[in-house]
Structure 1
Amino acid sequence: MRINLPTWLTLFRVALLPVMVVVFYLPFPGHNITAAIVFVLAAFTDWLDGYLARRMNLTSAFGAFLDPVADKLMVAVTLFLLVESHHSNGWSGVVMAVTAAVIVGREISVSALREWMAEIGMRAAVKVAFIGKLKTVMQMVALVVLIVQHEKEATALRLYHIGEALLVIAGVLTIWSGMYYLRAAWPILRGDAPEQPSSGKGDA
């Protein structure tokens, strides 16, 4: 199997995850800024590999499989880090944990829904909507802010609360977009539309 440039970028994004985790916990000055930079670099490769795949027509089955997996790993790992670092912060920790559970739960549910729809040849019925893209942008901005301010320094507490608010908004958009995908698939789930034979799995 030959790995093309977009897929190498996706693999690089996966490799950045343990780097971000280590930097997140290392006690050196500016470790939070460094961890945020690693996260932003990973997010940039997410955009770049998709752009190159479309621009240079370098799509592949392996790349189509790996790209959404890398995206979900990046978000899930970052949320786990933030929840763990705020587990003793009272209501703030509760809000963080609940929002993270909503986001991760939605990603698992929608991925399962898309996989099933692909199996019956109806993958196009649950294609990515604008609300899903807006959710992703809001989520990424919130995570960058929270990584930078995860220690909740008193001098930057307001910025931390902005990150919290953005993550909650992303959580609401997560539920909204999840309901959008469910509504699109509901006629088939309910049995009102005939299932079509599968033409192969698509990307999730």
Structure 2
Amino acid sequence: MPLNVPILLTWMRIVAIPLLVAVYYLPAGWLGAHERDLLATGIFMAAAFTDWADGYLARKLNQTSAFGAFLDPVADKLMVAAALLILVQLDRTDAIVAVIIIGREITISALREWMAKIGASKSVAVSMLGKIKTTAQMMAIPLLLYQAPLLGFDTLQLGNWLIWIAALLTLWSMGYYLRMAWPEIARHSGD
């Protein structure tokens, strides 16, 4: 396993997941509700920044690796899934949103793995639609974690609009990836 700055940042994102969850399980007197939400938002946003930073540094420092390419999306999916489960538990978003987003991530990850196994991974390469979906998610989740008014905006309402947009884009992008992979799926369905 190579160890370089981009991979270290990815590992930091993975370590941040239990910290994010733990914030909501601290004893009642340690943090007020707003401080808890602020800390969780900060942890999530720092993790989101490391997602951008590890990709940028891997390209800039020429430290890309197969392990890093594997670990980065795993870290992203785990962080988003943990945050969504917290938000459902806090009743800040609907369970159906979490099921759509997490279910799509599992489905597309399995599809990508299978497509790589049959040598057709280019047909499910990351698309612009997937990037827009990810952007909507990464904007929505901090707003939902924060939950308090910010600069005159109702972050809970804005976050819920964005997370529903992300859920719709999630379904659309899943359909796109499945459509792109369908010729290979049909060709190899008897294997």
Residue 180 of structure 1: which of 176, 180, 190 is its match?
176
1:106 partner letter: R
Question: Could you tell me the TM-score, scaled by structure 1's length?
Answer: 0.84
Tell me the SS of whatever aligns to 1:128: coil
* Alpha-carbon distance between aligned partners in 2 of 1:35 and 1:192, rounded to the nearest angstrom: 45
**Alpha carbons of 1:60 and 1:104: their partners in 2 closer, same or farther (altered >3 Å)?**
same
* Alpha-carbon distance between aligned partners in 1 of 2:188 and 2:66, rounded to the nearest angstrom: 31
1:115 partner letter: E
- Structure 2 alignment gaps of length 5 or more: none
Q: Map of 1:1-204 to 2, 5 A cutoff?
A: 1-26=1-26, 27=28, 28-29=31-32, 30-86=35-91, 96-149=94-147, 158-191=154-187
Aligned-pair CA distance for 1:192? 8.5
1:48 partner letter: A
* Alpha-carbon distance between aligned partners in 2 of 1:126 and 1:19, rounded to the nearest angstrom: 33
- Structure 1 alignment gaps of length 5 or more: 87-91, 196-204
Tell me the SS of whatever aligns to 1:100: helix
Greater alpha carbon shift after TM alignment, 163-172 vs 61-70: 61-70
Query: Which 4+ residue blocks in structure 1 deviate beyond 3 angstroms?
Result: 24-27
**Alpha carbons of 1:128 and 1:16: their partners in 2 closer, same or farther (altered >3 Å)?**
same
Aligned-pair CA distance for 1:116? 0.5
CA deviation vs aligned residue, 1:91-135 (integer Å, no higher than 9, x gap): x76xx1001100000000000000000001111111111110000
Aligned length: 183
Question: Cα RMSD (Å) of the superposition?
Answer: 2.1
Tell me the SS of whatever aligns to 1:32: helix
Question: Could you tell me the TM-score, scaled by structure 2's length?
Answer: 0.89
Equivalent pair of 2:124/2:181 in contact (CA under 8 Å): yes
Aligned-pair identity in percent equals 49
**Alpha carbons of 1:22 and 1:192: their partners in 2 closer, same or farther (altered >3 Å)?**
closer
